[in-house]
């Protein structure tokens, strides 16, 4: 059971002999030492795991007969160092709004590698996108009208526009993470897309692509098939209506990962990519459409496994119903269990393959009974002061984090080849009051 859990951790995870049994190492670094050096809660990112995920996407995309590319969905986890990694690996960066664009720019991302998303982009978001992006994915007609106004006035290179289409099919995932269904807040309907293409042509806007995204964290690619078919049918209608065929097609991201040993074995990135590539290729052939450049837009499946959250147990509490392990982090750095019941697993860092002592509930320190990171997980006897490592923590944790109860955002450490380096410092008390102003009225 515990040894199966090890498979959820980064690919470089090893157990090495320590003073009291084995200790977990990731990327050649001893987790006990990292916790001492940087404190807890601590987030670790293992570059080798991220690189391996990119390689798996790339090698599977080789089966697609036209050009293809990968955009990293920064919403999963973005900071300057991660943006630099993505740019160096030749990935485009999907940025939502002016804030994420500024992170990409600070990392030195060139225009050609910045793609901008957003369901209700503000004028400021659009200004930043026009100034820095190579691609803007247009969510709706109001946004397109706004861009058309800006376009007439400006001389600089203008980003390519892709239209976000609602394919009317969502993937099988929690309803909070579904985006492709007909009543989703994201993207344009079939008729809105026809209208958008006509508008682009009337205004001479640089329209180059179509985009759709069906949801996040799915494990079965099957629903991507009907969505691809619908979008290709739309492409046939667009060709007839406006004489336009997109040069780029992006079926979004959303491929899931295993978070818990019960999720193993998990279908591979390669299974998913080959499925999508084949559907696009066959669908285009059947409709006599030119093969578009295929862009995938994964977030979670590139970085989630690379990330590990390290917590220290402050207290062990036994109530009549359960054993509580009280950790020094929780819903402020990982809201996913409270938000949509995400299930996680964990191991003690020292001597992780100890026999289980029954179920434990791993809870955070915050003033909410819902601040429970893991429910009913078979765990060994764990003592106060021990370190607990939670695998699959690299996506949608820190980006959705908060300062609830005055929580300080954790430090983030990059690990590669036996070396660690701080890529985000821990927040300090001063950060909590940095935006505050004294009351000036009596
Ligand atoms: C438009 C878009 N692209 C890509 C993603 C990335 O999804 P994931 O991290 O599940 O791969 C999302 C996430 O919801 C998204 O909304």
Judge if the beta carbon of residue 328 lies within 6 A of ligand 1: no
pLDDT tens, residue by residue, 314-324: 999 999 999 99
Across residues 258-277, what is the average pLDDT?
A: 96
Check whether 45 has a pLDDT greater than 60. yes
Residue from 75, 184, 393, 394 to probe ligand 1 pocket by mutation (most atoms less than 8 Å from CB): 75
What sign does the CA torsion over 10, 15, 16, 20 have? positive
On average, the pLDDT of the chain sits at 96
What is the predicted pLDDT for the residue at 155?
Answer: 65
Residue from 209, 252, 266, 395 to probe ligand 1 pocket by mutation (most atoms less than 8 Å from CB): 252
Check whether 154 has a pLDDT greater than 70. no
Closest approach atom of ligand 1 to CA 299: 9
* Dist CA 337 CA 350 (whole Å): 25
Full DSSP string of 199-248: HHHHHT--EEEEE---BSSBS--TTHHHHHHHHHHHHHHHHHHHS---SE
Across residues 56-83, what is the average pLDDT?
A: 97
Judge if the beta carbon of residue 251 lies within 6 A of ligand 1: no
Check whether 52 has a pLDDT greater than 80. yes
Check whether 261 has a pLDDT greater than 70. yes
pLDDT tens, residue by residue, 184-223: 899 999 999 999 999 999 999 999 999 999 898 999 999 9
**The most confident of 3-7, 18-22, 23-27, by mean pLDDT:** 23-27
Check whether 249 has a pLDDT greater than 80. yes
Judge if the beta carbon of residue 252 lies within 6 A of ligand 1: yes
Tell me the β-bridge partners of 325.
316, 362
Domains and CATH numbers, the chain: 2-39+306-433 (2.40.37.10), 48-303 (3.20.20.10)
CB-based contact 197:207 (threshold 8 Å): yes
Residue corresponding to tokens 């579904």: 178
Judge if the beta carbon of residue 214 lies within 6 A of ligand 1: no
CB-based contact 36:374 (threshold 8 Å): no
Check whether 156 has a pLDDT greater than 80. no
Across residues 162-191, what is the average pLDDT?
A: 90
Judge if the beta carbon of residue 76 lies within 6 A of ligand 1: yes
**Counting beta carbons within 10 angstroms of the beta carbon of residue 165, is it exposed (0 to 12), middle (13 to 18) or buried (19 or more)?**
buried
* Dist CA 108 CA 80 (whole Å): 9
Judge if the beta carbon of residue 187 lies within 6 A of ligand 1: no
What is the predicted pLDDT for the residue at 1?
Answer: 54
Closest approach atom of ligand 1 to CA 304: 9
What is the predicted pLDDT for the residue at 181?
Answer: 86
Residue from 70, 176, 178, 216 to probe ligand 1 pocket by mutation (most atoms less than 8 Å from CB): 216
Closest approach atom of ligand 1 to CA 253: 11
* Dist CA 295 CA 83 (whole Å): 18
Across residues 281-308, what is the average pLDDT?
A: 98
Closest approach atom of ligand 1 to CA 211: 1
Name the pLDDT band for 149 (thresholds 50, 70, 90): very high
What is the predicted pLDDT for the residue at 170?
Answer: 81
Across residues 75-89, what is the average pLDDT?
A: 98
Reading the block at residue 394, the tokens are 């690299």
- Candidate from 31-35, 183-187, 381-385 with smallest mean pLDDT: 183-187
Phi-psi region of 39 (alpha: psi -120 to 50; beta: other; left: phi over 0): left
Judge if the beta carbon of residue 74 lies within 6 A of ligand 1: no
Give catalytic status of residue 367 as yes or no.
Answer: yes
pLDDT tens, residue by residue, 95-134: 999 999 999 999 999 999 999 999 999 999 999 999 999 9
Check whether 57 has a pLDDT greater than 70. yes
- Nearest residue (by CA) to ligand 1, atom 8, is 254
Check whether 8 has a pLDDT greater than 90. yes
């Amino acid at each position: 059971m515990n040894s199966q859990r090890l498979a959820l951790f980064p690919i470089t995870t090893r157990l090495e002999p320590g003073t009291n049994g084995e200790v977990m190492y990731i990327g050649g670094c001893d987790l006990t030492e990292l916790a001492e050096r940087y404190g807890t809660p601590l987030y670790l990112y293992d570059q080798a795991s991220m690189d391996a995920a990119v390689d798996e996407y790339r090698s599977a995309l080789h089966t697609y007969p036209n050009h293809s590319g990968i955009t990293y969905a920064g919403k999963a986890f973005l900071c300057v160092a991660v943006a630099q990694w993505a740019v160096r690996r030749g990935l485009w960066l999907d940025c939502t709004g002016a804030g994420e664009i500024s992170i990409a720019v600070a990392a030195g991302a060139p225009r050609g590698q910045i793609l901008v998303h957003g369901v209700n982009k503000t004028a400021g978001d659009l200004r930043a996108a026009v100034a820095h992006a190579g691609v803007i994915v247009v969510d709706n007609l109001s946004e397109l009208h706004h861009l058309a106004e800006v376009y007439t006035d400006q001389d600089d290179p203008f980003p390519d526009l892709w239209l976000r289409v609602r394919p009317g099919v969502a993937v099988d995932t929690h309803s909070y993470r579904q985006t492709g269904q007909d009543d989703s807040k994201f993207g344009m309907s079939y008729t809105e897309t026809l209208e958008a293409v006509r508008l682009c042509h009337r205004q001479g806007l640089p329209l180059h692509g179509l985009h759709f995204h069906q949801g996040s964290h799915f494990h079965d690619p099957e629903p991507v098939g009907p969505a691809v078919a619908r979008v290709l049918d739309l492409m046939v209608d667009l060709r007839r209506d406006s004489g336009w065929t997109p040069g780029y097609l992006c079926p979004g991201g959303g491929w899931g990962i295993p978070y818990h040993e019960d999720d193993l074995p998990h279908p591979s990135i390669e299974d998913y990519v080959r499925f999508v590539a084949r559907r696009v290729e066959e669908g285009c052939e059947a409709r006599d459409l030119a093969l578009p450049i295929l862009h995938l837009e994964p977030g979670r499946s590139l970085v989630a496994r690379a990330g590990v959250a390290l917590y220290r147990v402050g207290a062990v509490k036994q109530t009549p119903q359960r054993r509580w392990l009280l950790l020094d982090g929780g819903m402020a750095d990982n809201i996913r269990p409270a938000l949509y019941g995400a299930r996680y697993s964990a191991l003690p860092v020292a001597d992780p393959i100890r026999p289980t002592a029954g179920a434990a509930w791993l809870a955070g320190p915050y003033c909410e009974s819902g601040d429970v990171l893991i429910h009913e997980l078979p765990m060994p006897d764990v003592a106060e002061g021990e370190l607990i490592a939670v695998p699959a923590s690299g996506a949608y944790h820190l980006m959705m984090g908060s300062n609830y109860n005055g929580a300080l955002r954790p430090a983030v450490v990059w690990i590669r080849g036996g070396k660690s380096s701080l890529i985000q410092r821990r927040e300090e008390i001063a950060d909590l009051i940095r935006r505050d102003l004294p009351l000036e009225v009596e």
